[in-house]
Structure 1
Amino acid sequence: MNAAFSRRTLLKAGAAGTLLLGFHLPMARAAIGTFEPNAFIRIAGDGTVTLVMPQVEMGQGTYTSISQILAEELDADWSLVTVAHAPPSDKLYGNPFFGIQVTGNSNSIRAFWDPLRKAGATARALLVQAAAQQWKVDAASCRAAKGEVFHDASGRKLGYGALAAAAGTQTPPENPPLKAVKDFTLVGQPLKRLDTAGKVNGTVKYGIDALPPGVKFASVTLSPVQGGKVVKVDDSKAKAMPGVRQVVVLDDVVAVVGDHTWVAKQGLAALEIEWDDGPNAKISSADVWNDLRAASQNKGAVAKEEGDADKALGDGERLDAAYEMPFLAHATMEPMNCVVHVTADGCEVWIGTQVMSRVQAEVAKALNLPAEKVIVHQHLLGGGFGRRLEPDMAVISARIAQQVATPLKVTWSREEDIRHDVYRPVYRDVISASLKDGKINGWTYRVTGSAVLARWFPPAYQKDIDIDGVDSAADIPYGIPNLRVEFVRKEPGVVTTGFWRGVGPNNNVFAIESFIDELAHKAGKDPVDFRVAHLDKTPRLKAAVQLAAQKSGWGEKLPARTARGISAQVAFGSFISTVVEAEVDSSGEVQLRRIVSAVDTGIPVNPDTIIAQLQGGLIFGLTAALFGEITIKNGRVEQSNFHDYRMLRINEVPPIEVHLIPSEEHPGGTGETGATAGPPALGNALYAATGIRLRRLPIDRDILAGKKPA
């Protein structure tokens, strides 16, 4: 990272002799010779190219792959490329899919592919024009490569740094020519990540590393039941502790401020707090599931309908099933944290967030300030998975910091983090299908659960349909002549639900791919052959299924109680098929032996990043399938840390192979596809190994051991 290029530097428009490009949105000129019409590319007089990142880096490699796209069309010298966080601005850095500044939905590359390429190509054209004007030659006779412009006829060349100021006097072309895929030199290469060195030597800053001068530290506890309030607090023991500076009591939050986090944590533990648990005090998981199951019996809003599904269900062999998915927490390695300094005339925030402009807006609202009075400093994220799509940590921190004179660093303990998450919703999916001549003839699918988008992005919730809730269901890849897909909204009330590395797809792909497997067995077909027979309309997925089967040794003999299961999906613009090989012992314990994925994700910007994302996603999703569940008792989340919210350990992770299918299609997303692919493939493997079909996650080892019925 280029530490000298801060968010404040960008807002002040940089230094003279700098070229700054991006979208065609004018910005004020700060000094003579500075060119700043837009937002992504900054070229200094020494030739250094700083690329301003519209998306955030939370471990997925986005900063590197976005830089590859920009540098490719810019023809930059990769060795001179550095990156900087973008400041909060929906206007300059709004995600093209949403119109707001957000990183999520596995769309950093697929959403910004076209605008970033145009931004890079425009910058290159302006540099070439500047050189041609200086040499008094036709720009068409010049070319750019590795940070220089060449005029081959005369043997002349100029570096980008020398041309930066002059490029600012040129008129941008409306439609600069983009490179052909065959001419790419950076895109498609497994370049080393730009953030690796700083992570190794400790120079990069995560949100939890932010320590402005004079900062004090706070540990926080929220009402253990959502909707509860503080009745009274006895803080005498805490205030008697050396290093404890202050106790802040709000209506639903209590914080202890100290000289360091440990004393703040000890002070918090010494408090005696009486809570009014409010209207959710008696609710438990059984109540949530009873309500959800009842709601799933109602007809839903129709998201897609083709043919006559009801008639087709009566024509052929019918199969009915219901699948259920539990609440899940994110448990990011970097727990929730934020630094806030509230002053008489404004506020500064230091945070790692997926929604920078929303953090700015919500903190401003909480403090009754104009948005421009809130300065947000972005940092790297130690994991997001959708959790940092919420501004709640910044808002809570701002409310506490409003009572404190110094900058305040608020950190949630792991217990507070897990018990006050924004959880992946519980879902129930009811499916019916009919088989005729060995193929699916009729299909009805009803998903019941939260409408996360109705809360998070209301414009996307129309006609009682959450488009994320039916993602990978309304656009099912299989050829089915008669189908209907419905959505029933049912909010749990006792907790807030949100995005969790896939949300709709990781629910729907599990249910659909488990049910497709059931249909294959009912039809007496091999699960691979059955899928392939229904994928004529989706040839890219068919190819992925066939490659995954080939690479995994599908059909080869395995030991007793060991089997392979397969899944296939189109999600986030990518086509992926996964085979999980698993063994089940007599006690129901599951050992993962091997995972093979084949993926067509379009043009692979950075193959290493794609493979790493899929590997990480598969581990994330399989962890949830094997262990993940958040339960409620008397309004309270029962899990608190990794002893009862279990993670796969390194010795439990099997070899994972990822095979990329060559493609020149528009890039797809990979951040969430692995998380959605693993669970159904595992479930199908367990059925093949034991003959027991599990329709609810996480897997029940007692059922696999035969200790209770499925």
Structure 2
Amino acid sequence: MTQTTASAPQSTGPRLSRRGFLASASLTAGAFTFGFNMLAPQAVLAQAAAPEVNAWVVIRPDETVTIRIARTEMGQGSLTGLAQLVAEELECDWAQVRFELVNPARNRSRQNVWRDLSTGGSRAIRGSHDYVRRGGATARAMLVQAAANGWGVAPAECSVTKGVIVHAASGRRTTYGAVAVAAAAITPPEQVALKDPKTWTIAGQPLKRLDTLDKLNGSLVYGPDFTLPGMLVAVPRSCPVHGGKLKSFDAAAIASRRGVKQVLRVDDATVAVVADTFWRAKSALDALPIVWDEGGNATASSETIAASLREGLSAEKAYVGNRIGDAKGVLAQAARVIEADYGYPYQNHAPMEILSATVRWSAQRCEMWGPTQVADAALDEMAKAAGLPATACEVHTMRIGGSFGRRLYTDYVRIATLIAKQLPDTPVKMMWTREEDMAQGQYHPVTQCRLRASLDNAGEVQALHMRLSGQSIFAYHAPSRITAEGGDPIVYQGLVAEGAEMALGYTFPHLLVDHAMRNPHVRPGAWRGVNLNQNAVYLECFIDELAHAAGQDPLAFRRKLMARHPKHLAVLEAAAKGIGWDSPAPAGRHRGLAQIMGFGSYVAAAAEVSVTDGKLSIHRIVAATDPGHVVNPQQVETQITGSFVYGLSAMLYGECTVKDGRIEQQNFDTYNVMRLDEMPQVEVITMPSGGFWGGVGEPTIAVAAPAVLNAVFAATGKRVRQLPLKNTPL
């Protein structure tokens, strides 16, 4: 078990831009500038021919080891973790490791040797750990075989340390760089043994990230920074009411503006202005007279959507996600029933890097340079829009400045390609404004939940019924995944039966969890943590309500319900111990707990807050996580800390409201986010128990809000049942 503490720094003094700081730093700090050259950029690596030992490993004569990374890097650090897994089995020198990103065209041309290129659902490491480790182990076996062949000895007589192969009996030595060419010609072994994680020396260590230096010196090119010779910039605008159409626009009104090249109808809902710079395109688009056919959805509002969801709370028809016994029957006969309704709003992903893609189309070939979480899907979307076979298309994947699930969807790729198709042989960078990003999101689905439970005379739960009402992500994006009975299985994340990767951590004699699907016109999407977020709020806040109704300590109450769920209970106990649950809180402070299982990991949080004159201060959060295995403890800790920034920001402020069919929030002035001075001290406890591989990036987001909300109740006696917290006076 490891524990770390992270505190938010306090910001004072004049503001300085990232690039401004880096420019001044490079001029004034010679040692700092020197450090940037220690990690060669990918472009330099690509210029030097080197033998490929196998699909995952390339080794140059100078001993540089390039590890190929297939999964998307969005700032979460999985790139380094995956490289550690390969390097561990390879037995190379970590100081010599570099990386190279794989694109989907290359993967397909090699029969998908790198397998899944997507990153979502915290699957970057947990979904590929086995085969990337085998890639490293296979390369090691081939390199050792090459050395053994040269010496005329058995491979079993040789050992490797940091890329140096030694024949024990004779003392002969060679290096990976010296035998890489010969190794590349060897037939890979069909079976390789993987190391016991207990023996890891590279994996499992808090190593520095491989992808940091070019961010620090400002040389990393993000999607909006990318340029090509002769490139134009397109800024699109789609109907602000989802489902609406583009009726007309007056291109002549802006045709003479400086820099404007074309005004294009992109599809039946989108117009775009193409100019020589972003600002000229945006300014012209702002001045363009546009008439929308908003359709029937223009009458929708937050109030009408909420009314539809409230109707679903008591509807007869619902899809069952988890059932034990006869909860409805027991509740109908119970003498004491506790009931509460909760709600969770639409939320925008709001990544700092806006959506963009640069596309060059010709009648023979189409290429895209841009960030995406789903490179294969982006390639297919681009090929479809380009009217070309996928074999004539290529997506050059880029690292991403935040995504949180937004780039799982390829709508922006389609728009960028349709624009470029109208400007043959000209590279066009399509860029959304922040306002367009807010208006055209794939929002965290809006839901409500009614919870009803019966307590016996001893304060024990007899039955629990959770009725979820709200949107289905699958119904919009993947209707083929809706079950034959009409249900969406991901609605129940954190609430399903034992044995699943998001299993409920409590045992009730009678249980019913069901869902009344209600799908408003606003597009839903996977927002970091997906349905686990609201389900954790609903479940953990209501469990807290039951504990107080029973007159019992919330931790002691949970312990009884969790007796059959030792891993759930272990992280909860660790968080409670870390916060000092069994000792009095400092004067004026109050505590709350929450736990859940999500994305294969067991997570819990304990919060300590105070409320003074109606103002909430979150002082401490202790987070405990059991993901089975930890590849890079430092990255796990920073991911967990960052997840609390995201989760608490959503709890405090995150809300997208609907008026006249459109999202009202247009930028960060109306869609607030957490500031540094609001961030609590976060203490992270990692307690990997082994035997399974869980995710890290998303699970702990879910326990941020309920732990704090339960602490708020302890401080004020008020239940917050509708998020965000800003709407509830304390």
Q: Which amino acid in structure 1 is aligned with residue 350 of structure 2? A: A
1:76 to partner: Cα distance: 1.6
2:560 is equivalent to residue 527 of structure 1: no
Counterpart check, 1:592 vs 2:618: yes
Ranges in structure 2 where 5+ consecutive residues have no aligned partner = 1-38, 497-502
**AA of the residue aligned to 1:61:** G
The answer on 1:507 being equivalent to 2:541 is no
Root mean square deviation, CA, Å: 2.2
Which structure ranks higher in relative contact order (CA pairs < 8 Å, sequence separation ≥ 6)? 2
Report the CA distance between 1:505 and its aligned residue: 0.6
Residue 24 of structure 2: aligned partner = none
Paired with 1:423 and 1:402, the residues of 2 have a C-alpha distance of: 29
Partner of 1:429: 449
Is 1:44 paired with 2:73?
no
Structure 2 distance, partners of 1:104, 1:44, is 33
Select which of 324, 346, 357 maps to 1:306: 324
Question: Using the alignment, how far apart are the partners of 1:501 and 1:165 within structure 2?
Answer: 43
1:9-24 aligned within 5 A: 18-21=51-54
1:656-667 superposed matches below 5 A: 656-667=682-693
- Residues 589 and 407 of structure 1, relative CA distance in 2, 3 Å threshold: same
Q: Are residues 125 and 315 of structure 1, via their aligned partners in 2, closer, same or farther at CA, if it must alter by over 3 Å?
A: farther
Task: Determine which of 348, 363, 369 is the counterpart of 2:382.
Answer: 363
**How far apart are residue 207 of structure 1 and its match?**
1.6
1:481 pairs with one of 503, 509, 516: 509
- The 2-side partners of 1:304 and 1:403 are apart by 51
Q: Is the 8 A contact 2:476 2:524 kept in 1?
A: no
CA contact (8 A) 1:94 1:101 kept: no
Give yes or no for the alignment of 1:616 onto 2:636.
no
Tell me if structure 2 keeps the 8 A contact 1:596–1:657: yes
How far apart are residue 296 of structure 1 and its match? 2.7
Q: How does 1:289-688 map to 2 (within 5 A)?
A: 289-298=306-315, 299-313=317-331, 314-315=333-334, 317-405=336-424, 406-436=426-456, 437-458=458-479, 460-463=481-484, 464-474=486-496, 475-493=503-521, 495-558=522-585, 562-586=589-613, 588-688=614-714
Q: 2:551 is matched by which residue type in structure 1?
A: G
Q: 1:667, CA displacement in angstroms? A: 2.8
- Paired with 2:717 and 2:42, the residues of 1 have a C-alpha distance of 61
Taking the aligned partners of 1:2 and 1:484, their CA distance within structure 2 comes to: 56
Distance 1:629 1:16 in 2: 51
SS in 1 for 2:126: helix
Q: Tell me how far apart the structure 1 counterparts of residues 477 and 549 of structure 2 sit (CA, whole Å).
A: 41
Distance in 2 of aligned mates of 1:373 and 1:466: 36
Q: Which one is further off, 143-152 or 457-466?
A: 457-466
Q: CA deviation at 1:253?
A: 1.4
- 1:284 aligns with 301
> Does the 8 A contact of 1:532 with 1:545 survive in 2?
no
How many residue pairs end up in the alignment? 678
Distance in 1 separating the partners of 2:439 and 2:475: 23
Equivalent residue for 1:219, pick from 235, 245, 249: 235
Task: Tell me how far 1:673 sits from its aligned partner.
Answer: 1.5
Q: Is contact 1:414–1:640 with CA below 8 Å preserved after alignment? A: yes
For the residues of structure 2 that align with 1:4 and 1:574, how far apart are their CA atoms? 34
Map Cα deviations across residues 382-429 of structure 1 (whole Å, 9 max, x no partner). Answer: 111000000011111111122224211111111111111110100112
Cα separation, partners in 2 of 1:391 and 1:76, compared to 1, 3 Å: same
Looking at structure 2, the residues matched to 635 and 6 of structure 1 have their Cα atoms a distance apart, in angstroms, of 50
2:710 counterpart letter in structure 1? N
Give the drift of 1:237: 4.3
Counterpart residue identity of residue 42, structure 1: V
Aligned-residue identity in percent: 40
Q: Tell me, in whole angstroms, the C-alpha distance in 2 between the residues paired with 1:496 and 1:546.
A: 39
- The separation in 2 between residues aligned to 1:235 and 1:6, in whole angstroms, is 45
- CA–CA distance in structure 1, aligned partners of residues 552 and 617 of structure 2: 26
Separation in 2, partners of 1:684, 1:522: 14
- Cα deviation per residue 1:418-468 (whole Å; 9 max; x = unaligned)? 111110100112222223433323122222222213443455432323222
SS of the residue corresponding to residue 583 of structure 1 reads strand
The answer on whether the counterparts of 2:160 and 2:166 sit within 8 Å (CA) in structure 1 is yes
- Contact 2:346 / 2:445 at 8 angstroms: preserved in 1? yes
Kindly provide the amino acid, as one letter, of the partner of residue 349 in structure 2: H
Pair 1:127 & 2:143 matched: yes
Please report the TM-score for the alignment, with normalisation by the length of structure 1.
Answer: 0.91
Moved more, 537-546 or 639-648: 537-546
User: Residues 290, 218 of structure 1: CA spacing in aligned structure 2 closer, same or farther, 3 A cutoff?
Assistant: same
Moved more, 417-426 or 85-94: 85-94
State how far apart, in whole Å, the 1-side matches of 2:92 and 2:343 are: 50
- The yes-or-no answer on 1:252 pairing with 2:269 is yes
Separation (CA, whole Å) in 2 of partners of 1:578 and 1:504:
18
Q: Aligned-pair distance for 1:51?
A: 1.4
Q: Secondary structure at the match of 2:104?
A: coil
Task: Say if 1:308 and 1:483, in contact at 8 Å, map to a contact too.
Answer: yes
Give distance in 2, aligned partners of 1:142 and 1:692. Answer: 68
Counterpart position of 1:154: 170
Aligned partners of 2:72 and 2:117 also within 8 Å: no
Q: Distance in 1 between matches of 2:618 and 2:336?
A: 34
CA distance in 1: counterparts of 2:541 and 2:406, whole angstroms: 27
Would the aligned equivalents of 2:76 and 2:639 in 1 still touch at CA under 8 Å?
Answer: yes
Judge conservation of contact 1:328–1:629 (CA < 8 Å) in 2: yes
Shift of the alpha carbon at 1:306? 1.9
* CA distance in 1 between partners of 2:378 and 2:312 (Å): 34
The structure-2 alpha-carbon separation of the partners of 1:235 and 1:612, relative to structure 1 and needing over 3 Å to count, comes to same
